[in-house]
């Protein structure tokens, strides 16, 4: 994937991630009052109701919590594709596509977030995020 491909892509939703030289970081939110960390960043704290939720850099590293390989089309994904639940270092469990699971894929494995380009109805592709094994990132 070339940086030029990424540059022309439209984020799937604003405020989910930052991309710097091909390196992706997820952006969550931390409640200023109770400290609970969320992904994506909510408008208000979903735990204590606090009105101030501050953008929080969640980094790109996480641990594989569960995964599956899907053999039907779903949403913008085309089969076969893998998806995962990933536990980020700051706590939130994140759902995301997983680079194709293999026999070596295992719960507890260390993963890294990476860009994912998806086909769109328009000319410009959609930029989303996925997880890949740490050594590949």
Partner 1 sequence: MSGLRDVAVIGIGQTTFGKFPELSFIDMGRQAAADALKDAGVPAARIETAAGSRFYSDITSLQSILATLGIAGIEMTNVENACAGGSTAVRAVWKDIAYGLYDIGLVVGVEAMTRHLTKGGMLTTSDEDLDAQLGRAVPVSFALTARRLMETHGATIEDFALVSAKAHDAGALNPRAQYRKTLSVEDILASRMIADPITLLQCCPSTDGAAALVLCSADVARQYTSNPIFIRASTVLSGGLAHAQTDPTTYMVGRTAAAQAYEQAGLGPDALDLVELHDAFAPEEIIHYEDLGLCARGDGPALLRSGATSLGGRVPVNPSGGLLSLGHPLGASGVRTVCEVVQQLRGDAGARQVEGARVGLAQMLGGAPSGLEAGACGIHILTT
Residue 94 CB-half CA count within 13 A = 34
| 69 near partner 1, rule: CB under 8 A | yes
| 72 near partner 1, rule: CB under 8 A | yes
Integer Rg of the chain from CA: 15
Q: CB-wise, 92 or 115, nearer to partner 1?
A: 92
| 59 near partner 1, rule: CB under 8 A | no
| 18 near partner 1, rule: CB under 8 A | no
Residue 92 CB-half CA count within 13 A = 23
CB of 82 to partner 1, least distance (A): 9
* Nearest to 26, CA basis, from 16, 12, 36: 16
Q: Which of 6, 12, 33, 61 binds partner 1 (CB under 8 A)?
A: 12
CB of 13 to partner 1, least distance (A): 6
Q: Rounded distance, CA 33 to CA 135, Å?
A: 37
Q: From residue 88, how far is each of 91, 99, 126 by CA, in Å?
A: 5, 17, 24
Q: Which of 84, 88, 113, 114 binds partner 1 (CB under 8 A)?
A: 84
Judge contact between 109 and 101, C-beta under 8 A. Answer: no
Q: Which of 67, 109, 111, 113 binds partner 1 (CB under 8 A)?
A: 67
Q: Interface residues with partner 1 (CB under 8 A)?
A: 12-13, 16, 36, 38, 40, 46-47, 65-77, 81, 83-85, 92-93, 95-97, 107, 118, 128
């Amino acid at each position: 994937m070339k940086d030029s491909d990424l540059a022309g892509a439209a984020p799937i939703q604003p405020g989910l991630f930052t991309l710097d030289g091909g390196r992706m970081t997820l952006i969550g939110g931390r409640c200023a009052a109770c400290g609970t960390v969320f992904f994506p960043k909510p408008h208000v704290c979903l735990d204590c109701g606090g009105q101030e939720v501050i953008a929080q850099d969640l980094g790109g590293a996480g641990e594989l919590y569960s995964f599956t390989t899907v053999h039907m089309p779903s949403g913008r994904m085309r089969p076969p594709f893998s998806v995962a639940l990933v536990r980020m270092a700051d706590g939130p469990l994140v759902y995301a596509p997983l680079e194709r699971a293999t026999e070596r894929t295992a719960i507890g494995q260390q993963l890294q977030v990476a860009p994912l380009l998806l086909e769109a109805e328009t000319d410009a592709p959609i930029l989303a995020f996925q997880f890949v094994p740490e050594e590949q990132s």
